[in-house]
Amino acid sequence: MNLLHDKQVLVTGVVNTDSIAYAVAQRTLHMGGKAILTSFDRDWERTAEAARSLPGDVEVLELDVTNESHLKRLEGELRQRWGHVDAVVHAVAFAPRAALAGNFLDTDSAAAQAAFATSSYSYASLARLLDQLAPITGGSIVGLDFDARGAWPVYNWMGVAKAALESVSRYVARDLGPRSIRSNLVAAGPLHTRAAGGIPAFERLTDAWEAQSPLYWDPTDPGPVADAACFLLSDLARGVTGEIMHVDGGYHAMAGPLDPDRFDRSHVESR
């Protein structure tokens, strides 16, 4: 499959082989594209180990998305290695535990601002990078989202940061559309990643999906989300921008819990 034939894709947020970003990088290579990963300080060795498990010689470059000097240096490194970048995957999110746990109203402004800077504003930073590096034919930036239309029983200020991310993506779509650069998000269902491990009572989300998703949702399989991201990175999505694609088993479209016996368990367990 050559959906991303010769596309040069920058993938942020790969921490280990369980991450959604890793699955996107893996699919990108499988679909004929090229990938460079980014990491920084505390995650460097884990990202490098994940890169070694990918086919080919996949490089890892240093990037703290909240550091302008890192972004400027990365631009130069990508020009040197590739000349241009066709697409960027924004898979970076962080909130201090104080912004995720406890009483929403008790969170101090510093914790909330850290969540916004890393999880929302950084999308605009990567969009500017792509604007500098995309070829004249345009490009694509795709971010990972968690549906922010409502308040979740957990998630707190990260939910607010995701709402901001959704808005940022629309404004990026507006401003970079004339350059034929597209901006889209994939709103995934809950998946067991390292980031999920930092969310208190994460199982409340997976339990909700088991009760309400019309399609069987496997919280250990990032493949469906990665495939959707690759579609949005590809030329097949050349007319799509400002979109939020839900890859959540249909949970977002249901108004309430469904029949608990709706799945043929033998079929589900054979997957």
Longest CA–CA span in the chain (Å) reads 56
- Look at residue 130 and tell me if it is in a domain: yes
CB atoms within 10 A of CB 238: 12
For every residue of 179-244, which 3-state class applies, written as one string?
HCEEEEEEEECCCCCHHHHCCCCCHHHHHHHHHHCCCCCCCCCCHHHHHHHHHHHCHHHCCCCCEE
Among 162, 171, 216, 251, the active-site one is 162
266 confidence band (pLDDT: 50, 70, 90):
low
Active site residue 155: yes
* Tokens 């309400």 -> residue: 212
- Look at residue 163 and tell me if it is in a domain: yes
pLDDT digits (tens, 9 = 90+) for 112-150: 999 999 999 999 999 999 999 999 999 999 999 999 999
- Look at residue 246 and tell me if it is in a domain: yes
* pLDDT > 60? residue 269: no
Q: How far is the CA of 70 from the CAs of 62, 109, 240, in angstroms?
A: 7, 25, 30
Among 7, 22, 34, 155, the active-site one is 155
Active site residue 7: no
Q: What is the CATH number of the domain that holds 221?
A: 3.40.50.720
pLDDT digits (tens, 9 = 90+) for 209-219: 999 999 999 99
- Look at residue 218 and tell me if it is in a domain: yes
pLDDT digits (tens, 9 = 90+) for 6-63: 999 999 999 999 999 999 999 999 999 999 999 999 899 999 999 999 999 999 999 9
Question: Rounded mean pLDDT of the chain?
Answer: 94
- Look at residue 137 and tell me if it is in a domain: yes
Distance, in Å, from the CA atom of 13 to the CA atom of 91, rounded to the nearest integer, reads 5
- Look at residue 1 and tell me if it is in a domain: no
Range of the domain at 77: 8-269
- Look at residue 3 and tell me if it is in a domain: no
Mean pLDDT of 176-200: 87
Distance, in Å, from the CA atom of 84 to the CA atom of 160, rounded to the nearest integer, reads 33
**How many domains in the chain?**
1
